[in-house]
Amino acid sequence: MDPPASRFTHTLETVRGTPVLHLAGALEGETAPLLRQLLDGQIDGGAKRLVLEVSSLRYVASAGIAVLIAAQKRLRAAGGDLHLAKPSESVKEVLQVLNLDMLMKIHGSVEAALLEASGT
């Protein structure tokens, strides 16, 4: 089955010192390298905690999952974490089926992710 015809978009903001990347559309083989570049740029720039707001991310293929896992491994090695906020039901289901909800921190809101990311 082909992924939905959705364009991948992103916006980046910094909230209380934590990068928050808002993702929308489909994260698949063609778009995963862009996300890898975005995440690597933040990590290489010294970020130890990243929040990905994924409520508008409708599709995640294996290439996208690989990027998320690689980012989590890099962040953990630096003493940090990757936080996913507001996943859609379809994305949440993929994460749960792959047991990635045990590897990555999943939150119901960006605010909850930011609170945990800041350690408060």
- Looking at the domain assignment, is residue 3 inside a domain? no
Angle formed by the axes of helices 62-77 and 32-44, nearest 10°:
10
- Looking at the domain assignment, is residue 42 inside a domain? yes
CATH number at residue 89: 3.30.750.24
The total of structural domains in the chain comes to 1
Best CA proximity match to 24, nearest among 82, 88, 81: 88
pTM of the shown model: 0.91
Is residue 101 classed as helix, strand or coil in its secondary structure?
helix
Quick one: residue 107, left, alpha or beta (phi over 0 = left, psi -120 to 50 = alpha)?
beta
Quick one: residue 61, left, alpha or beta (phi over 0 = left, psi -120 to 50 = alpha)?
beta
Domain that holds residue 80: 9-117
Region 101-119: mean pLDDT is 92
Q: How confident is the model at residue 119 (pLDDT cuts 50, 70, 90)?
A: confident
- Residue 107's CB: how many other CB atoms inside 10 A? 19
- Looking at the domain assignment, is residue 2 inside a domain? no
pLDDT at 3 over 60: no
User: What CA–CA distance (Å, rounded) separates 31 from 101?
Assistant: 22
